[in-house]
Structure 1
């Protein structure tokens, strides 16, 4: 007598080829303990040279990390955790006052060697798959453009992924995320580490208004520098140096001015 293996359910997204289950997940809960639905999308890179090893790590109970989806270089997509469950991808993080990002978000891991390998360009089939996957997720859950973020946006002192070569402009052109054309890099006044006073307060207030987890202290400290770098990686990748130059300030101002007021 033979017994058949139980079949796995279909993936939540039609873009995923199949489910490759990770045990690393839990319940999505709001602050009051009630179930909650995801309203954020967080993009990561694996930061490992081998995609297979990265996938196995995300599915290893010892690692205590996971994501909802995994995108290979060739565009193949696997689902690791059901979208209704809380994957463990964000770590200690914050966005727009939310500190339990894992409960608030869906996480996508993109196979890429990252900064240790010099941030090579992402593969075209991979980006095509990321666009298809994110478009599907955003449409089904009604995720607002400004809540499609990088891991570095929500954890600027700890993380730098998916990095400055990730093509956010292409995603925006496909209807995913919030983006404006960056202001040209040039001269002019700037703020940098060690500066103090009202101009720094105004800078920090603008970043907090957009969503970054930063207090208004009036001191251009290590966190402020990290937030500026994270912002530049996402929105002004031509120069990532942690200095709030005129291009950075103008791009931030334009983003705030054009931020959607409601879910798209």
Structure 2
């Protein structure tokens, strides 16, 4: 799903109400099963737009195919059998995720993704404590060392979008993902810069964390980014980069992601 640049909050919300454990059956179900428990499962698959027929309580080939599609998207074994792992994933899929409000500040520094899917979210610090300086750097349109990122999170919590998600920003430099250099990290990633000097003593702000707790889960769900691919710049450029700094609280971000993935 390509997300256009916007100045308003966007949402992917299969349900306006938080799911409960009673939304889904407890017991294993598979093709051939019938009854109200199957209907409850089908109702959830309809809400998530995996099943396009009505919830009739008959676990037939269409329900199997819908469940397999969901399992594949959530990196589960696509066996079409409803069990504990699929139930847990369905409950997380029902949790709505929202894109925080963004302020558009377009950067000229980007390129086509050339058909590469987004499967990495990369966090950085800017090595500055002033968002105005960071915006100028990320939007500089001339010179040999032009850089950019998709998002910049200012200390006060303002979220700037500089490059559309559909385009590749220039934020990773010489890098690799678990040793792989092709496709490049830039082509396959979303880059998020945090205004922070990177000293390890300047705290990342509460406002920045609150933005990340919404933005990262939203991006991870939208583009089906594996949790192990939510990384820092240091992870794809070891020995060359150290961001985000050691005092960055990864646990907060990972808890937010774990709630929806």
Q: TM-score, normalised by structure 2?
A: 0.59
Tell me, in whole angstroms, the C-alpha distance in 2 between the residues paired with 1:176 and 1:20. 30
Tell me, in whole angstroms, the C-alpha distance in 2 between the residues paired with 1:98 and 1:83. 22
| Structure of greater relative contact order (alpha carbons < 8 Å, 6+ residues apart) | 2
Give the counterpart of 2:120 among 28, 32, 40.
40
Which residue does the alignment assign to 2:58?
Answer: none
Contact 1:16 1:79 in 2 (8 A): no
Q: How far is the alpha carbon of 1:17 from its aligned partner?
A: 2.3
Q: How far is the alpha carbon of 1:162 from its aligned partner?
A: 0.5
Contact 1:28 1:86 in 2 (8 A): yes
Unpaired runs of 5+ residues, structure 2, are 11-98
Contact 1:134 1:176 in 2 (8 A): no
Please give the secondary structure, in 2, of the residue aligned with 1:70: strand
Please give the secondary structure, in 2, of the residue aligned with 1:174: helix
CA gap 1:9/1:71 in 2 versus in 1, 3 angstroms:
closer
Contact 1:138 1:176 in 2 (8 A): no
Q: How far is the alpha carbon of 1:155 from its aligned partner?
A: 0.5
Which residue does the alignment assign to 1:51?
Answer: 131
Tell me, in whole angstroms, the C-alpha distance in 1 between the residues paired with 2:172 and 2:158. 23
After TM superposition, what 4+ stretches of structure 1 lie above 3 angstroms from structure 2? 11-14
CA gap 1:74/1:145 in 2 versus in 1, 3 angstroms:
same
Q: How far is the alpha carbon of 1:61 from its aligned partner?
A: 1.2
Q: How far is the alpha carbon of 1:96 from its aligned partner?
A: 2.2
Which residue does the alignment assign to 2:230?
Answer: 148
Please give the secondary structure, in 1, of the residue aligned with 2:152: strand
Tell me, in whole angstroms, the C-alpha distance in 1 between the residues paired with 2:122 and 2:171. 9
CA gap 1:176/1:110 in 2 versus in 1, 3 angstroms:
farther
Which residue does the alignment assign to 1:28?
Answer: 113
Q: How far is the alpha carbon of 1:113 from its aligned partner?
A: 1.2
Contact 1:70 1:78 in 2 (8 A): yes
Tell me, in whole angstroms, the C-alpha distance in 1 between the residues paired with 2:258 and 2:240. 25
Tell me if 1:120 matches 2:202: yes
Contact 1:69 1:78 in 2 (8 A): yes
Instruction: Note the alpha carbon deviations across 1:102-134, whole angstroms, 9 max, x for none.
Output: 00100000011112xx53221101111111111
Structure whose alpha-carbon radius of gyration is higher: 2
Contact 1:25 1:81 in 2 (8 A): yes
Tell me, in whole angstroms, the C-alpha distance in 2 between the residues paired with 1:140 and 1:74. 26
Q: TM-score, normalised by structure 1?
A: 0.59
Which residue does the alignment assign to 2:164?
Answer: 82
Which residue does the alignment assign to 1:61?
Answer: 141
Tell me, in whole angstroms, the C-alpha distance in 1 between the residues paired with 2:223 and 2:135. 25
